[in-house]
A and B are shown apart, each in its own frame.
Chain A
Amino acid sequence: MEFGFTEEQEKLRKEIHEFFKTELPSDYGEAPVRQGADLEQWAQAFQTKAVARGYPSAGWPKKYGGLGFTSMEQAIVSEEMTAWGVAWPGSMGYNLVAPVIMAVGTEEQKERFVPPIARGEVFCFEAYTEPNAGSDEANIQLKAVKDGEYYLLNGQKTFISGARKPDWLFTLARTADTIPKHRGISLFMVGGSAPGISYRPLPTMSDSRQNEIFYDNVRVQKSDLIGEENRGFYAAMATFEFERASVGLDARRALRRLVDFCRREKKNGKRLIDDPEVRKMLAYMAMHEQAQWLVGWYSAWRRSQRQKLGPQPYDLSMFLRKDWLPHSSNALMNLFDMYGQLEYDSELAKYDGVIGRRWESSRIIHPAGTPEILKVVIANRGLGLPRIPRKFNATIAESLEQE
């Protein structure tokens, strides 16, 4: 049992820390973007600098342009990124798409897709979810029908995260009508501007940008099928593991900012941090932050032990984060009373309108699994609690109609 870091890890952390500290502008992210400002250009340029250091693809094998970082070292990169509030525009490609292609793609696909993703030159969307296939991922209905050297794709995706037009859509499509359903799904790289592809932005409650994507007789080359036909679901499940496990210091950064605010601000002539209710709230925030941080590191460490200990039976990090979210966002709202709802550009806004934004974001609870699904997965796979085999679901649904 050890809760410190090795000299090498500290050295690595310091390197990354200094990079962000000196490369990020001193006015970084402390305000909404000015009207007309080209944030994208700056973000692109910054990502290029980080790419030169190798940070976005740090976890990839060296032969594909990565740094070959272990999961512990990747966690350190992730910590420093979140500590400074940095997110790569191309993160979907780095963390989900390229690793899957490296795992199950052909050599030709690896050569074609991976280097541009590594260089941050292309952007990918993870196009899995459909109107009838959210938690029930295997229920996807977007069809991919073989037609000579091509597949013809027809259908619709929804709630797809991404704020700019992608170069590639990492698409789950049904190639066979199987029972069970998940055995008939395949993964395709579909061009983001291919004929037949159209987008409709889905405004959400927060700034998180989601989209509907329509596939209308989209032609996809056979060479863009990733992995074996009808084995796409398993590859996609592996990406969920990436999504759900995370080490981050964003909670700590938010806590420190809040504590600092409470030290400086007063209510009734008294510092907020001297108010018993506020003290209690801050203490609970600190406890939950500590618990989440440790669980995140446990997962990172557990991944590093995969050879010896096998796959991790369950991961608590995303569940803990989402479970705490309504409590913390409500606690903040309580602290700010009616001020909490004010937009950032209102004259009366306090704490720069963050509270309202955070409240809105906290409602976006579904990406990478709703808390309910996360609990079911932990209960079934982690604790071995029983569940009704899916093959009976249709019969059960019928019996419900009869009642």
Chain B
Amino acid sequence: MDFSLSEEQEKMKTAARDLLEKECTESVIRATIRREEGYSPEIWRRIAELGWLGKAFPEKYGGTGGNLIDLAVLFEEMGRAMYQSPFLSTAVLCGMTILNAGSEAKKDEYLPKIIKGDLKMALAVTEPQAVWDGKGWEPEGINLTARASGGNYVLNGVKAFVHDAHIADYLLVAARTRKVKNAAGGITLFLVEAKSRGISCTKLRTISGNNKQCEVKFEGVTVPASNILGGVNGGWAPLDKSIKTGVVLLCAEMVGAGQKVLEMTVDYAKTRIQFDMPIGLNQYVQEHCVRSLALVDTSRYITYQAAWLLSQDKDCDLEIAIAKAWTGEGNERINWYAHQVLAGVGSTEALGSLPIFSRFGNVSQFYLGSPEHYISKITDELEYIPAPERPVGPPIGLWDPQRHDLPSWDIWRDWFVKNS
């Protein structure tokens, strides 16, 4: 057990923080949100040059082969800086799928460009009705059809809440190629050129502030069969893996944001004077700060544990589910406590960045699966947890096997009185 970062990771963290603090001032972020692209291509170029995107990929394609912990550290810093970009969509959700399920040819074609920041991609999974039915991230929720036709497939259907579709060069689309009882066995992944005929992309208007979620309609969109990743009907496994990796990094981003919001809350409590005293003297205010601290720290440990297990290729569906449910709910609570402490200042767009954190937090709470979705997954995993182990020494009959648990205090009292 080691809760520290390596020296290299500390250096990387500091460099990332310095860069983002300089580039992502509140006014830059606010301006970025209002841009049509919803992100800053200039900052994107900077981080690509610094090799951040390459941390997800082996050197063979131009990456630095960093591990998931390194990426988590970067995402924490990006969360802290409110930095929104196509990083998760492009490098993780789509890029890692290409890495894990693409042919060598595909990897050579796309990964170096992704690493350089020259390509942007968006993962299209969730469909309107499925999201409403609570199956958005489940195999059963994927019903956009892909029908074979010659050497191509024809896609028909609608995807909603697709991040970064409007700026993507390619969409990675999860489609259904056959109806089958085990729904996961009928899913195929297609790499689709975003400007293909038949695709219409509309940005969704939300209160979330991140200005990059889209509804994407597919009307008779033709895709060559050679653009399939993971084989026909073999799309769910690589997709699931990428989503899980994305979940862990999204949690890391929330941890970074939560830490910053905690700092803002404590700072305000110490400096805001009312009734001649800092409001932080008030124990109601202190309680919000303590609870936020507990949520940030526990979220951090849970998230990094999931990242470590995943990076070791260990089975960690339970830990990942706990990470997303706990951090998603926790982050929302941290923002809520901050609003209570910062009050008027906290909800006024002109007076600080809490509204931005608050809005972004709402996105992260539900993207890649809501807390409710993961709470159900946790119990699925608990089904297989073994009962507590029993000792095997010879029984000695001191305990009444018809009953259980601790001795009643009468017995202790009698013993005590007898021996006083």
Contact = CB atoms under 8 A, between A and B. Distances in A.
A3 B309 contact: yes
Interface string B53-97: 000000000000000010000000000000000000000000000
Interface in B357-396: 375-376, 378-379, 382-383, 385-396
Contact of A375 (B286, B376, B403, B409): B286
B415 interface: yes
Interface in A155-212: 163-165, 199, 201, 203-204, 206-207, 209
Contacts of A42: 396, 398
Interface string B294-324: 1001100110110111001000001100100
A35 B290 CA distance: 46
A386 B278 contact: yes
Contact of A34 (B1, B277, B400): B400
A interface, over-half SS? helix
A287 B398 contact: no
Contacts of B415: 40, 163-164
Given A1-B69, A1-B307, A273-B383, A256 B388 contact: yes
A378 B290 contact: yes
Given A2-B308, A30-B404, A31-B400, A257 B393 contact: no
Say which size band chain A's interface belongs to: 35 or more
Interface string B230-251: 0000000000000000000000
B328 to A, nearest CB: 11
A387 B416 CA distance: 43
Contacts of B289: 379, 383, 385
A384 B395 contact: no
A165 B419 contact: yes
Interface stretch (A20-28, A238-246, A394-402): A20-28
A84 to B, nearest CB: 7
A33 B411 contact: yes
Contact of A27 (B302, B397, B409): B397
Interface in A215-262: 253, 255-257, 259-260
A363 interface: no
Interface stretch (A59-67, A96-104, A145-153, A350-358): A350-358
Contact of A1 (B5, B290, B411): B5
Contacts of A279: 375-376, 379
Contacts of A1: 2-5, 69, 304, 307-308
B280 interface: yes
B375 to A, nearest CB: 4
Interface string A80-121: 000110000000000000000000000000000000000000
A13 interface: no
B283 interface: yes
A25 B393 contact: yes
B280 A199 contact: no
A42 B278 CA distance: 57
B270 A385 contact: yes
A326 B406 CA distance: 20
B400 A33 contact: yes
A201 B392 contact: no
A24 B398 CA distance: 12
Contact of A302 (B3, B383, B405): B3
A338 interface: no
B408 A21 contact: no
Contact of A2 (B1, B281, B399, B420): B1
B405 to A, nearest CB: 5
A169 B55 CA distance: 59
Interface stretch (A124-132, A288-296, A328-336): A288-296
B416 A273 contact: no
Contacts of B175: none
A165 B420 contact: yes
A255 B298 CA distance: 19
B378 A286 contact: yes
B395 A27 contact: yes
A280 B375 contact: yes
B326 interface: yes
A209 B409 contact: yes
A27 B392 CA distance: 9
Contact of B394 (A26, A72, A204, A375): A26
B258 to A, nearest CB: 14
Which of B277, B302, B389, B405 has the largest number of chain A CB atoms within 10 A?
B405
B151 interface: no
A206 B407 CA distance: 10
Given A31-B401, A344-B403, A164 B419 contact: yes
Contact of B266 (A30, A256, A383): A383
Nearest to B295: A291
A372 B277 CA distance: 22
A213 interface: no
A39 interface: yes
Given A31-B404, A378-B290, A283 B382 contact: yes
A53 interface: no
A291 B392 contact: no
Contacts of A367: none
Nearest to B401: A31
A207 B406 contact: yes
B412 interface: yes
Contact of A376 (B280, B286, B293, B394): B286
Contacts of A5: 1
A198 to B, nearest CB: 9
A199 B319 CA distance: 49
Given A164-B416, A256-B388, 19 more contacts: A3-B304, A22-B391, A30-B401, A32-B406, A32-B408, A163-B412, A204-B409, A207-B408, A257-B388, A259-B382, A273-B382, A287-B325, A291-B301, A316-B297, A316-B298, A319-B294, A353-B403, A375-B286, A385-B270
10 contacts: A1-B69, A23-B391, A28-B393, A34-B397, A72-B1, A203-B409, A209-B409, A279-B375, A287-B322, A383-B266
- 4 smallest A-B Cβ distances: which pairs? A352-B404, A24-B391, A379-B286, A31-B399
